[in-house]
Amino acid sequence: MPARDDLVIPADLLPRDGRFGSGPSKVPTGTLEALAAGGTTLMGTSHRQAPVRGLVRRVREGLTSLFSLPEGHEVVLGNGGTHAFWDAAVLGLVRERAQHVVLGEFGGKFADAVAAAPFLAAPSVVRAEPGSLVLPHDEDGVDTYAYVHNETSTGVMSPVRRVGGGDALVLVDATSGAGGLPVDVAETDAYYFSPQKSFASDGGLWLAVLSPAAIARATDLGGSRWVPPFLDLRAAISSSRLDQTLNTPAVATLFLLAEQVDRMLAAGGLDAMVARTTASSRVLYDWAAARDFATPYVADPDARSLVVATLDLDERIDATRVCAVLRSNGIVDTEPYRKLGRNQLRVATFPAVDPADVEALTACLDFVVERVG
């Protein structure tokens, strides 16, 4: 049968905003308008002067409030996104041996980066079947525990709890989870993320909430092993304390991030954001439960992500075609994670996504499935 990508979804079914991508994700139109309206005092001006430093301060203070940071925890940032933070952590946070929980692609990438470091012991890797959750566990000789808050490739979320004793560090990849999932940051030593997921900004930066223990470890390791200057957490920490970055940041990314953090705080803070992502994701899981052709990919309801919902479709329905039809109607980025290779939809329900638009998406799905399935 030819692909019916020309199928037109009635306008009254369409969501107001059709961006459901898991990263880069929807940037609210209002923040883009704010950038256009107010950007001339920031864009194209020195990042060493008060206006851009004020933006960095707004981000650092806003995140301190949003996460109700315990005394001594600091918001640190640098260029290069989460991938750059992983390399900085290999060099500056893992002392000798790490334990990694691998739930999917992203947890696996950090584990691979540590495994490849010639100055570290082979990591202990705890692997879950894709679509399921495993937790880290206490292990002798491990000085760093690493796991993912929200595994964006599979839509599995993990509780955030401290593991390990002594001075072991807990590093949580919250790239897509931070801002949309519940957390007590005191349970972590590095709670790190990028702004293009739950924070509705653009890519290119990493942010990390570091505990005093993580700062001490970075200071210690940075003084005792060679670390390339760009990946030296000591430099990121000292620059951040001055509301700066080591080298030139993307000012627009900072602007959109600051606006979104302020919006989140004005709307009631992290609890309110979690209520919103819970409501949005429930729309999708309930929709799948009520259809005989759709099933939540994550079998354990407690591990089903509030911010990235993965829904398997029955083999009678070609998810690739469904996504193509949605795309031709302005509903974009519902495709599954490419390497997972499933007949699946993946829909981000980050805080910036309107639960009413998620409702509209399900109506569109019913319309499309009935016609192309």
Ligand X SMILES: *Cc1c(COP(=O)(O)O)cnc(C)c1O
Give yes or no for residue 152 binding ligand X (CB under 6 A). Answer: yes
Please choose, out of 170-178, 236-244, 282-290, 352-360, the segment that lies near ligand X by the rule CB under 6 A.
Answer: 170-178
Among 23, 108, 249, 296, binds ligand X (CB under 6 A): 23
State in Å, rounded, how far the first CA of the chain is from the last one: 11
Residue 358: name the closest of 7, 17, 8, 11 by CA: 17
Tell the smallest beta-carbon distance from residue 263 to ligand X (Å).
Answer: 21
Please give the Cα distance from 96 to 78 (Å, whole number). 24
Residue 135: name the closest of 182, 103, 94 by CA: 103
Among 154, 175, 329, 362, binds ligand X (CB under 6 A): 175
Tell the smallest beta-carbon distance from residue 2 to ligand X (Å).
Answer: 35
The residues near 222 (Cβ < 8 Å, ≥ 6 apart) are 91, 92, 232, 233, 234
Among 203, 234, 278, 359, binds ligand X (CB under 6 A): 203
- Interacting residues with ligand X between 218 and 277 (CB under 6 A): none
Give yes or no for residue 24 binding ligand X (CB under 6 A). Answer: no
Cβ atoms within 10 Å, residue 174: 30
Closest to ligand X by CB, 176 vs 211, is: 176
Compute and round to an integer the Cα radius of gyration of the chain: 21
Please choose, out of 60-68, 76-84, 161-169, 230-238, the segment that lies near ligand X by the rule CB under 6 A.
Answer: 76-84
Closest to ligand X by CB, 41 vs 247, is: 247
The residues near 226 (Cβ < 8 Å, ≥ 6 apart) are none
What is the arrangement of strands in the sheet containing 344-348, beginning at the earlier edge strand?
Answer: 294-296, 308-313, 344-348
Tell the smallest beta-carbon distance from residue 204 to ligand X (Å).
Answer: 8
Give yes or no for residue 92 binding ligand X (CB under 6 A). Answer: no
Binding residues for ligand X (CB under 6 A): 23, 81-83, 106, 148, 152, 173, 175-176, 194, 197, 203
